[in-house]
Amino acid sequence: MDSVQEKALAVFGAEGINDPRHVRSVIRQGAWSSHTSGLAHGRVQGNLVILPEALAGDFLRFCQRNPKPCPVLAVSEPGQVALPSLGEGIDIRRDVPQYRVWRHGELAQEVGDVSDLWRPDLVTFILGCSFSFESALIEAGISLRHINEGKNVAMYRTNLPTEVAGPFGGAMVVSMRPMPAADVIRAVQVTSRFPNVHGAPVHIGDPAFIGIADIGKPDYGDAVALLPDEIPVFWACGVTPQSAILNAQPAFCITHAPGCMLVTDLFNHHLASF
């Protein structure tokens, strides 16, 4: 067992590691600040964007125009910290392992709690995450190396454009999972069932075609080996809004740190379209 997996079991417990409420409770206490891949097996995880109400309308339109990287699962009322449609007792200020705080488009800090930064005009967006379809891939017999090695998924900036809405726009970010050619068609079939968590891949094969110069150097997350008999498969990724935020340069914004998701009470199969 990988050292990260051993640490997760030690922190959450053998039963608690798959209980979303327990996972959130441990995170809220500050006892876990790492990525959430492999936690709460079978449950939906979500990407996070928190913006002032004045920008929320433009950002919602950006998500609607770019549903592959930005599938919306929930939107809060201004100032609301609970998200009852996603889970009992969620406090969005404290239930994500690591937050990124942005000021004027620049990363200002990474923290484990944003309670002291909370304002009554802040609107929370939860976007679908590819971690949710990973359970379905595993159940289909497709091995995922980053999970086996206890790593965060590898993520890359690309040359694939997004459709602009107001000040929001920029290039798509993708996540990559290597697999043997024999598994690729099955992976497309499985993930196509989950349009609310990025759906089918946006690219299969040569990373240079989508502007990735070195697959061994991800822009976010952890590198994993690409073996000679494997093909890299790329999915739209919920880190894409962070690229849009760099372009929009809002005076204030909060996102999750890459790989550090909100763990919800929803089951992944609830998001399957067929």
pLDDT tens-digit profile of 67-122? 999 999 999 999 999 999 999 999 999 999 999 999 998 999 999 999 999 999 99
In the chain the domains, ranked by start, together with CATH numbers, are 3-130+247-268 (3.40.1640.10), 133-240 (3.30.2040.10)
| Average pLDDT of span 174-199 | 94
What pTM value is reported for the model? 0.90
Whole-number pLDDT of residue 239? 87
At residue 133 the predicted structure's pLDDT band, cuts being 50, 70 and 90, is confident
Rounded to whole angstroms, how far apart are CA atoms 204 and 12?
Answer: 36
- Asked whether the predicted pLDDT for residue 250 surpasses 70, the reply is yes
DSSP 237: -
Whole-number pLDDT of residue 87? 97
DSSP 122: E
At residue 132 the predicted structure's pLDDT band, cuts being 50, 70 and 90, is confident
pLDDT tens string 192-239: 999 888 999 999 999 999 999 999 999 999 999 999 999 999 999 988
Rounded to whole angstroms, how far apart are CA atoms 222 and 217?
Answer: 8
Residue 249, Cα to own-chain centre: how many angstroms? 21
| Average pLDDT of span 111-139 | 93
pLDDT tens string 41-60: 889 999 999 999 999 999 99
- How buried is residue 25: exposed, middle or buried, by Cβ count under 10 Å (0-12/13-18/19+)? middle
Is residue 37 within 8 Å of 153, Cβ to Cβ? yes
Task: Supply the Cα-derived Rg of the chain in whole angstroms.
Answer: 17
